[in-house]
Amino acid sequence: MLYLDGNSLGRLPLGTINAVRSVVEEEWAHELVLGWDHWIGLGETIGDRLAPLIGATAGEVVLSDQTSVNLYKVASAALAGTGRTIIVTDRGNFPSDRYILDAVARSAGGELRFISEDPTLDDLAAALDASVGVVSLSHVGYRSGVMLDGAAMTAVAHDAGASMIWDLAHSAGSVPVALNEWNADLAVGCTYKYLNGGPGSPGFLYVRSDLLEQLEQPIPGWFSHADQFAMSETYEPARSIRRFVVGTPPIISLVAAGVGIDMTAEAGIDAIRRKSIELTSLFTEGLTSLRHHGLVQITPADPGSRGSHITVSHPRGYQISQALRAQNVIPDFREPDLVRFGFAPLYNTYAEVERALEILESILTTEAHATFPEARGRVT
C-alpha cells in the first residue's frame, strides 16, 4: 500500500504491537484493578512526554477524551467569566470546531463570528473588538494545508484582549509548534494522525501554566477533583492539568499513543519538518506538469506556509481519489472536490512520492477515474 493519509490516521508503529500486547496480556490480565496504581496518571505522564514536541512545559499537557471534547472544555473555560460573548474562528475550520465553538458562544449569550478561510493577520484584526473573548484557529488547516503564523496570530488576539486557542490536529508531530513562545493560552489536538497513536487514540489539551488555577472547565468529573478518592460531596478542582480531565482514561489507547509520541520525539521535530518540506516539495513540483488535467493545487507553493499535506481540487476529485485507492494509493477526499495527499516523514519515502505521481498521471491521462461512481461512501 502506498499510504498517503497519515494526516488522517498514522501507520502502526511496530513497537505499539508489543506495548499493547503487554498492557493487555500482562497488566490487564494479571493486575486487574491493581493496575490503576500505575495507570492512574498515564494521561499526564504521556502529556509531559508530548509537551516538548509542541513547545510546552511538563505539567501543561494532558492526553484525555477526544480533540472535539477537549475543545469544548477549553473554549468554555476560556470564555467563562470574561464578560465577553463572541468567539472568532475561520469558515474553513474543522466541522467539530465550528459546531462546538458556536455552541459555546451561544450558551454564553453570544455567537460565533466567522472570518475567511486561511485568514491573514489583517482579517483576524478586523474581526476583533471588546466583545470577543476567544479566538480559535487551526494551526494547519485540514482542507487547505495552510499553516498560520502562531506567534503573530496569538499576539493579534491578545492585543484585543481575547484568549487564543490553537487546534494542533494537523501540526503535532509534523511541524514545529512553540506554544510557550507564542504565549498561546490553550490548545487541543489529535494523537492518531502524525503521532501514530492508533484509530481513536485520545486527544490532548494544553493549558498555559499561569492559567491552570484560574480556568474552570465545564465538565467537572471525579478525575479532575483535587482529591479524587475522597469521593466528596462537593467539587473542588485539582490545581494541575488534571483539572481538565473528566473520567476514566482509555489505558490501552493511551499506551499506544505513548509509543507514537516517543518515536516522534526520538526522530526530532526539526528533522521531521525538514523531510516533510522535501516530500511535499517533490510532490508539488510533480503536480505542475499535471495542471493541464484540471488539477488545482490549493495548498501554498511556499513550504513555509504549509503543513505536511498537499490538497488539490478537481471537479472529479472524488472519482480520482477512488481510482487512486483502486491502485493501492491512499489519499483521502474532502467535500466538495478536494483530494488530500498526506506526507508523513516518519515513514513516507521520496520513491513513494514519485510513484504516486506516476500513478496519478496515468489515471488522469487515461481518464480511468471516469469509471468510478460519483456517489460518496460513508467515509471519504
Ligand X SMILES: Cc1ncc(COP(=O)(O)O)c(C=O)c1O
Q: Which residues bind ligand X (CB under 6 A)?
A: 66-68, 94, 96-97, 138, 142, 167, 169-170, 190, 203
Name the catalytic one among 244, 283, 340, 341.
Answer: 340
Pick from 217, 209, 181: nearest CA to 78: 217
Task: Identify whether 235 is a catalytic site residue.
Answer: no
Name the catalytic one among 193, 208, 243, 275.
Answer: 193
Q: What is the smallest separation between the CB atom of 168 and ligand X, expressed in angstroms?
A: 8
Cell readout for 323 is 481510482
Closer by beta carbon to ligand X, 142 or else 223: 142
Closer by beta carbon to ligand X, 98 or else 273: 98
Pairing of strands 163-167, 332-334: unpaired
Closer by beta carbon to ligand X, 84 or else 193: 193
What residues contact 203, with CB distance under 8 A and at least 6 apart?
Answer: 63, 64, 65, 66, 67, 68, 69, 70, 188, 189, 190, 191
Task: Identify whether 340 is a catalytic site residue.
Answer: yes
Q: What is the smallest separation between the CB atom of 234 and ligand X, expressed in angstroms?
A: 31
Task: Identify whether 270 is a catalytic site residue.
Answer: no
Closer by beta carbon to ligand X, 97 or else 185: 97
Q: What is the smallest separation between the CB atom of 305 and ligand X, expressed in angstroms?
A: 17
Closer by beta carbon to ligand X, 73 or else 170: 170
Partners of 3 in the β-ladder: 330
Nearest residue relative to ligand X (C-beta): 68
Q: Which residue type, as a one-letter code, is found at position 25? A: E
Q: What is the smallest separation between the CB atom of 202 and ligand X, expressed in angstroms?
A: 9
Cell readout for 320 is 480520482
Name the catalytic one among 3, 72, 94, 244.
Answer: 94
Given a contact cutoff of 8 angstroms between Cβ atoms, the answer to whether 205 and 72 are in contact is no
Rounded CA-CA distance 195/344 in Å is 10
What residues contact 130, with CB distance under 8 A and at least 6 apart?
Answer: 84, 160, 161
Rg (CA), the chain: 21
Name the catalytic one among 65, 90, 167, 332.
Answer: 167
Task: Identify whether 274 is a catalytic site residue.
Answer: no
Q: What is the DSSP string of 292-334?
A: GGT-EE-S-SSGGGB-SEEEEE-TTHHHHHHHHHHTTEE-EEE
Rounded CA-CA distance 337/334 in Å is 7
Task: Identify whether 167 is a catalytic site residue.
Answer: yes
Q: What is the smallest separation between the CB atom of 373 and ligand X, expressed in angstroms?
A: 25
Active site positions, annotated: 94, 167, 192-193, 340
